Structure 1
């Protein structure tokens, strides 16, 4: 399926603007969207074309059953291919990192660099039960304001930053009710695929960077063998003072690490 794209390389007439450096394509994580990356896009677009995609069932993209990584990677390539980007750099966070690894396995010849933010190419246990419970509670209550939605979510989610992140997915319908723009049913049904390893086979032999948050449990020493098998030319760096949402918690350090990698390699 065609995905919604925020594209810094388009002017007011919608015509592509070229840069000497490869374009940078960004893939968000679970319950995220391209909008979450606007501050980074603003910085990176000074030197290159930047494209941030809404994956299926997220943001402004359509809803469709199936959250297998092969399907999500196919969506990405179906969206990018008509744009004739040439070789591009690909950055993915969390679930988007697994999509990026799948794209790298299946279309590695089109990537200049692969950047994975705080995820390993392994299976994970169920870790979003509280989030699903909170979102379903909001869905049932049909609140009329963000404050009312936050009060409902607070019963299941104590951390305010998590509630605020989820609230970026709330939109007001014609009846004044706050509803989720994500495909909650499709994501819930596809959750076993989301916590599975990336799709495809073999390794991406190009230059790769894996950034982990210092306090995040998502990239562990026990994952090292799987990481190096998937990305034999990987550089592993830690962003101090950050957890899983490292790009939001330490935005400058995250961006600096990405820039160093792209400039040095």
Structure 2
């Protein structure tokens, strides 16, 4: 599958994978900073997200293979791979399957364990948007507010809106496939998966996605891993405390 990406800067390649219901645009600010520090940053849309192709098939194995195909088709080598949330799971899977194409791995606020589906309300809200005939972003936000109370999460989700025609808004997401495969999003890393190169796990201080108990599991899969906690941040670490997040990344690199 030919993934869509935005490439910034020149230098050693850093590939960035967004989270569930996100898109590469969510990482543009961080991408520009890393490009300014001398890296070639690839902001990638994963399948069924952003401007990448849609497919009924959706799991971490196919998304890891999508990434390998992207790296091969762009003749990239010695890559640094950074993934947030769902993107972190894709990154972990790809690192264990194709360690030779990577130098370092950065996983943001997700552990290699199983997570039960917890996006029901959000998916219902997005479904309501898809079924309604909306002609303004304001209408979409009002409708989504009935399902999602947090304004920050609403704004993040509404980035998926685009003008399909001059008068009709639509979502870039392949919502049908994502709802159908929702169980796949929380899947644990393969029990035998191991990546033996330098790895950084970043967690938000106010997030419960990576617990102290998870550190033993992280060490099992990633023997060279270190875990860093970013203060004053939740699950969207890079947006909530960008300065400390970038500092942690640069120190690791």
The bucket for the TM-score relative to the shorter chain is over 0.9
The alignment partner of 2:39 has SS state of coil
Corresponding residue of 1:151? 142
Q: Structure 1 residue 111: deviation in Å?
A: 1.1
C-alpha displacement at 1:201, in angstroms? 3.5
**Whole-Å separation in 2 of the counterparts to 1:189 and 1:226:** 29
**Which of 27, 51, 55 in structure 2 is aligned with 1:37?**
27
Q: Where do 5+ consecutive residues of structure 2 fail to align?
A: none
CA gap 1:38/1:108 in 2 versus in 1, 3 angstroms? same
1:41-64, CA deviations, whole angstroms, 9 ceiling, x for partnerless residues?
111112111111100000000100
The aligned residue for residue 170 of structure 1 is 161
8 A contact 2:64–2:91 mirrored in 1: yes
CA displacement 1:69-93 (0-9 Å, x = unmatched): 0100001111111211111100000
Aligned length: 252
- The equivalent of 1:239 in structure 2 is 230
Q: In the alignment, is the contact (CA less than 8 A) between 1:106 and 1:200 conserved in 2? A: no
- TM-score when scaled to structure 1? 0.92
Unmatched segments (≥5 aa) in structure 1: 10-16
Give yes or no for contact 1:25–1:88 (8 Å, CA) kept in 2: yes
Where in structure 2 are the equivalents of 1:121-132 lying within 5 Å? 121-132=112-123
> Over aligned residue pairs, what C-alpha RMSD do you find?
1.2
Q: Structure 2: how far apart are the matches of 1:133 and 1:82?
A: 37
Quote the Cα distance in structure 2 between the aligned partners of 1:198 and 1:8. Answer: 30
Match of 2:17 in 1: 27
Distance 1:78 1:110 in 2: 11
Residue among 207, 210, 228 paired with 2:219 = 228
Query: Does the 8 Å contact 2:117/2:185 carry over to 1?
Result: no
Q: TM-score, normalised by structure 2?
A: 0.96
The corresponding residue for 2:92 is: 101
Detail structure 1 runs of 4+ shifted over 6 Å in the superposition: none
User: Are the equivalent residues in 2 in contact too, given 1:116–1:211 (CA < 8 A)?
Assistant: yes
Residues 1:137 and 2:128 aligned together: yes
- How far is 1:144 from its partner? 0.8
SS at match of 2:98: helix
Q: Distance in 1 between matches of 2:126 and 2:237?
A: 23
- 1:66 counterpart SS class: coil
Deviations 1:82-113 (A, max 9, x none): 21111110000000000000010011122111
Query: Could you tell me whether the CA contact under 8 Å between 2:93 and 2:193 is conserved in 1?
Result: no
Q: Distance in 2 between matches of 1:208 and 1:66?
A: 29
Aligned counterpart, 2:7: 7
The CA distance in 2 between the partners of 1:200 and 1:69, in whole Å, is: 14
Q: Secondary structure at the match of 1:229?
A: helix
